[in-house]
Amino acid sequence: MYNPRSKDLDREYFPSYHSTRFQDQPEPNIAVQDHFIKLTQQHERDLTQKQAISVDHLRYGEGRRLVDVFYNKSTPNQAPLFVFIHGGYWQMLDKSTSCSVVGPLVRRGYRVAVMDYNICPAVTLQTLMKQFTEFLNWIFDYAELTNVLEITFAGHSAGAHLLAQILKAPEVITPQRSKMVWALVFLCGVYDLRELYNLESVNPKNILGLSSINVEAVSPMLWEYSDVAIWSSTNIYVVVAEHDSTTFIEQSRRYAEHLKKSGFRANFKKFPKYDHFDIIEETADDESDVSRFLQNLRAE
């Protein structure tokens, strides 16, 4: 039987339906996704071909567990490290569509790490989250070995969901390591998966491996946080785009409130004019609003 509520939820969990761009196209939602992939892949090519930025290709595990670290000849030895985690509903995209943030930040003196990860259904979401925790341990080891004193983490969409684990990983985060983290930026994330996992459009054939039993364990909105005091020097920004869906906007707002009530220094910010995709595309522009925001986090 046709269920209009299900169709509404499908649209709520597909950010491409809420962009105001490409309205002259037959399928604007497809056009905005295609544009995002094409443009961000061009940004990645331009870094080495046109911007004289160097890259180290590193590995932290098997499969797609890769990290590209970008810098230029002016990058200082103890440059602050900016780590970016891409989205794609844990089942698509990769680091080739994740480098828009790199150029402006490298020009501001950062070293930038763009990470990739194994995706569903090659792994379940719970396994992916475990592997992401292993990545966190790896990136802190890397920072300590390279004398990094300051780290900023940013995750977009599903990457923001993965990044939330940093606040609930006592086996990785020591007081010394938490003091290295200048800021955490959650961009257009999804933090409560109880509706999402039942949608065939988002989770076809349950490739995420979720059930009513384990879905709460992978929903940061529902977590209780301990050791909050060790994060007292870290600023947390839960960011959303004006042209995201109501569900995405409200999940971000509620997650920021949940973190604040738990004792974190969390702030909610809604960026006007942006959608779920150009909020990343425009990080490649040194003068865009979102790029200036990321560049100036250390001054916030």
State which amino acid sits at residue 258: H
Helix (H, G, I), strand (E, B) or coil at 253: helix
Rounded CA separation 235/181 (Å): 9
Catalytic positions are 157, 244, 276
**Cβ-proximal residues to 93 (8 Å cutoff; 6+ apart), any chain:** 37, 86, 87
Return the structure tokens found at 287. 């003068």
**154 beta partners:** 84, 185
> Are 131 and 108 contacting, i.e. CB atoms less than 8 angstroms apart?
no
Distances (CA, A) of 220 to 104, 163, 186, 280: 30, 10, 12, 22
